[in-house]
Structures are given as C-alpha cells and as structure tokens.
Structure 1
C-alpha cells in the first residue's frame, strides 16, 4: 500500500519510473534501519490510515502525502535538527520530481511543524500533525508499544538521562490546551491520549 501510493503520487509529476523507484527505495531504506523501532514504515502506514479517514477535509492531498513519506526520513536521536534535515531532503527530492515550488514549500513547512506540533494557520498542517500524534490516543497496549519503541531508539542513553527528557516531552503535551488541533482527532483521541500520557509519566 505504501509503495503503490508513493508510485502513483510521484507518477503525477514524472514519467521516469527508474527515478520513482529510486526515491521509493530511499524512503523504504531510511525507515527500515535496525536502529528504528517506532519511526518505521509501520508508522507511515498508520499515518496513511489516519489521514485517509479525513481525506475529504484535506485541501492538497499530494502535499500531505509527500509530507508523510519525508517527515521522518532523517531521524537521529542524537540530533535535534531531524525535522530541518528531513524538510531539506524533501525539498530536494520534490525538486527532482518537478513538483511545483509552492507545493514543495508547503511540504517543507508541514514537516517543520512536526517539531512542536503546535496549532497552525494551515488546516492541512493541523490534520497532519494530529495524525502524526494519533498513536497517543490509541488503546494502552498500542501506546505502550510506541513508548517502548521510542525508548529503544534512545537506548544509547541510560535511564538517568532518558527519563528526565521523556518526562519533559510528556509534560509538554499534557500542558497543551489541546493536543489535537482538529475537531475530528480531538473528539476521537484527546481523552485517551491524556490518560496514556499521565499513565506513562507516573511509571517513569
């Protein structure tokens, strides 16, 4: 499903099948490294599933899809500029695909928005960042698996360092007036997300 969707998307802008395949393989490889435990192709699949539920609310579906494939393409737990690097790479790849500059700019801005997941003036961006956080509002076993995956990605850090940092992240979300900015995701996931975050916070 992920590959088929990517190929169809890219084919809108180029008929170079070799290029399309190369770009897909790059996305696939980036999300399949042994050090990734949550930010994987499975995360992209979940994102696609969540976004398809609100597709009729999205103004530019192509941009959302490009954002989906590239928002985590650069991911190094030791760095704090993953979103910026991912946005830069997305911009470069969309240029190669001859995607219009304005659409590439929108994609870049959506990727950068995933750094803090704050309310955005662009509705599409809010739908994307909400979908990106949708795991927070899943049933506890799925949330616990997500939290465990994130811990594994940061396994280089001992608990003495990891736990204070993780607490800060959890508190950041809990202190938001709304974790989910769109009514659809807010009504569906907000209450469960807060319970999950509080439960993990208490266990740290």
Structure 2
C-alpha cells in the first residue's frame, strides 16, 4: 500500500470529505519533498511503516500511530530545536479538521513530542513509534552509512568542528533506545532478530569510539 492510499484509508474512518483529505495529503507530500530533506522525506515514512507492519498485531491503536508517522516530521528545520513541538501542533490542527476523536489527537500529539528525546516511554505504542523512527540504526552497515551521509547533507551548513560533537551527543541516546528496540521491533522471527542484533552490535562498536564512556548511560 502506498503512502497516499494508507493516509486516505485512515482519514476516511472519520471524514468522507475527499477534497479535504486530498489537501491534507498534498501538504504532507509537499512538506516531505522540501529542498534539503535528504533523509527526513517520504522514504523515511515508508520505511517506518515497513517496520510497523511487521508488528501491527502488537500495536494497540494503529490509527493513532499511523497519523503520528505521517506528521512527526511534518515541520523539519535542521536549524530549529522546536521541530517536534511545531509538528505536534500542526498535526492537532489538521486532525481536528477531520473531526477525529480528541483522545486519538492527544495520543498523536504526545507521540510526536516523544520523538524529540526518544526516551523509553511508559506508553505501549509510543515505544513502537520510536523504535520505527530509529530503526535505521539497526540496518546493515551499508544502509547505515548511506543514512549518515544523508544526515550530513541535511546539516551541511555546520562545519565538521561543530557537526561531529553534535552527532556524538545524538548517538548517546542509542544506549537507552537499544533495549527498547530489542523488546519491540525485534520481536519478530529469529532470523530477523539475530540479523538486527548483529547489526546493532556493529553500531555499538562504533559508538564506543564516538562517546567517552563516562558520558554514556549503558543500559542494556
């Protein structure tokens, strides 16, 4: 199922206004196709859904998490520290146009905000969203290297002197995230689990050289 059709199907649960839904989709498509989005684009959303589909039966509210995926990066400015807050607010305003239940809107709002820090959540579905968002860290080395190149392009305005320390700080959240990933997205078949744990170990090896040991919370 392509992204547009997926969005349409979930919106039609709440509104039959196809013109409205079409306009909402076009906005999502336009925002994720902006110049400078080398990684945080429609391909990223597609990959997140591939991860989530594999564990769909374990997610309590798939509609909410679907809207969270579509809107979690709707506002993306590499120079801003408030992308998640703005994205969450943007999502609320659009979902209200569809007359979606406030409980679902609140869940989407909170899930999007959670992507700011990627801390393990007490909310069941939020952990699935966070794992899918960072699942690139568990991919094969070649895919991971491609990801790092795309991210570097998105932050090309920073010289290496400033960029590298920032990426080291970001990588530190990997230690908390790894435990969460193993109990959600990796709860698939044994072959996939073993493959991804191997890939994770490669990333872990690299991170050990990026971050000073006393700066890392080594929860496993």
Q: TM-score, normalised by structure 2?
A: 0.86
- Structure 2, unaligned stretches of length 5 or more? 188-192, 212-220
Distance 1:52 1:68 in 2: 12
Task: Report the counterpart of residue 180 of structure 1 in structure 2.
Answer: 180
Shift of 1:181: 4.5
Distance 2:210 2:119 in 1: 26
1:50-109 deviations in Å (ceiling 9; x for gaps): 000010001111101000100000010100111100000001101011001110000000
Asked whether the 8 Å contact 1:35–1:153 carries over to 2, the reply is yes
The 3-state SS of whatever aligns with 2:184 is helix
Find out whether 1:196 has 2:203 as its counterpart: yes
Asked whether the 8 Å contact 2:131–2:177 carries over to 1, the reply is no
Shift of 1:180: 2.7
Shift of 1:190: 4.6
Residues 150 and 50 of structure 1, relative CA distance in 2, 3 Å threshold: same
Residues 181 and 134 of structure 1, relative CA distance in 2, 3 Å threshold: closer
Residues 182 and 109 of structure 1, relative CA distance in 2, 3 Å threshold: farther
Q: TM-score, normalised by structure 1?
A: 0.93
Find out whether 1:142 has 2:143 as its counterpart: yes
Asked whether the 8 Å contact 1:130–1:182 carries over to 2, the reply is no
Question: Which stretches of structure 1, 4 residues or more, deviate above 6 A after TM superposition?
Answer: none
For 1:28-107, list aligned pairs within 5 A.
Answer: 28-107=29-108
Shift of 1:36: 0.3
For 1:91-130, list aligned pairs within 5 A.
Answer: 91-130=92-131
Residues 44 and 199 of structure 1, relative CA distance in 2, 3 Å threshold: same
- Structure 1, unaligned stretches of length 5 or more? none
- How many residue pairs get aligned? The number is 203
Task: Report the counterpart of residue 14 of structure 1 in structure 2.
Answer: 15
Distance 2:74 2:159 in 1: 25
Shift of 1:26: 0.3
Residues 139 and 34 of structure 1, relative CA distance in 2, 3 Å threshold: same
Distance 2:160 2:183 in 1: 36
Distance 2:68 2:107 in 1: 9
What is the alpha-carbon root mean square deviation over aligned residues?
1.9
